[in-house]
Structure 1
Amino acid sequence: MLIRSVILMVYGLAAGALIAASFLAFLSMIGVIPRLAGLTKTIKYARTYENCIALGGILGTAVYIYRWHIPLGWPILIIYGVFGGICVGCLVGALAEMLKSLPIFSRRLIIRDGIPYIVYAIALGKIFGCYIQFYLERK
């Protein structure tokens, strides 16, 4: 039983580290932070922005896993919602810009036909993954 627990702990930590690294690599690949810092003319604080995003991911994961109850009231919930919406909006905008690079990517890989199928496969994978997470895991 102890060996199984240790293996599960190592597996969980490795999977969590992989997801965190991929998310941060994704953010750096699409360049959200430098663009926002450039637009707001606060490029000297770019490192602070990156640290805040990493800290937010760590704290968000801890709150989700350990189900911490933070009784701060409605005003803090509204502020959290506004900043969460800003973050999601920035990611959506960056993803929209990334989709513009899909034709360049397809030319380099010599993919002539099937680009719509690739986009559909990505969308269906996301839908299927959300369905598994939200509907099948809770039953």
Structure 2
Amino acid sequence: MKILEYVFLIFIGFAGGLAVGGGFVAFLTVLGVIPRLTQLTKSIQLIHVYEWAVIFGTLFGGWVSLRDTIFLISAYWLIPIGLFCGVFVGMLAAALTEVLNVLPILAKRVGVEGKIVILLMAIVLGKVLGSLFHWIYFIK
């Protein structure tokens, strides 16, 4: 009976991994994050580096999340790690808004077509203040 439970657990884990991995690849493909990033940074010759960075980042993130990993490093490493995480989330949000044309539609619906810069600044400042509140308030 124990073997059947293990086989079922392996099947569920494998199916879940395929679903999440397939969704992640489809998400990257539909948004075209990597080609757009190379286009914006004018570094088309480094596209393979970006692709491998995504692959290794995904593998490392999966490995860390499945294990009870503790890194014995200085607290000062939180600064660059936080910056890298912020850059990732910011680029992902920028890619979503660019692909979906969210901001022009939102500005038109709310009625602030001429003040889209104020709308952008409100979103950016809200994100920054919310992140600072989360990291400063909940760490103590």
Letter in 1 for 2:19: L
Shift of 1:5: 0.9
Give the match for residue 46 of structure 1: 47
**Which structure has the highest helix share of the two?**
2
Distance 2:68 2:19 in 1: 22
Identity %: 36
**Runs of at least 5 residues in structure 1 that lack an aligned partner in the other structure:** 102-139
Structure 2 residue identity aligned to 1:88: V
Cα 1:24–1:76 change in 2 (3 A) is farther
Report 1:32-71 matches (<5 A). 32-71=33-72
Paired amino acid for 2:64: V
- Structure 1 CA distance, aligned partners of 2:76 and 2:29? 32
Residues 98-118 of structure 1, C-alpha deviation per residue, up to 9 Å, x if partnerless?
A: 2228xxxxxxxxxxxxxxxxx
SS at match of 1:67: coil
Which amino acid in 2 is paired with 1:9? Answer: I
Cα offset, 1:60, TM superposition: 1.0
Aligned residue type for 1:66: R
Larger RCO (alpha carbons 8 Å, 6+ apart) = 1
Shift in Å at residue 38 of structure 1?
A: 1.3
Counting matched residue pairs gives 101
What displacement does 1:51 show?
1.5
> In the alignment, residue 9 of structure 2 is paired with which amino acid?
L
Corresponding residue for residue 20 of structure 1: 21
| Whole-Å separation in 1 of the counterparts to 2:39 and 2:31 | 14
Greater C-alpha Rg: 2
User: What is the alpha-carbon distance in structure 2 between the residues aligned to residue 2 and residue 55 of structure 1?
Assistant: 33
Alpha-carbon RMSD across the aligned residues, in angstroms, is: 1.6
TM value normalised by structure 1: 0.66
Runs ≥4 residues deviating over 6 A: none
> Unaligned stretches of 5+ in structure 2?
103-140
Secondary structure, aligned partner of 1:69: coil
In structure 2, C-alpha distance between the alignment counterparts of 1:79 and 1:15, rounded to whole Å: 31
- Paired residue secondary structure (2:72): coil
Q: Distance in 1 between matches of 2:79 and 2:70?
A: 16
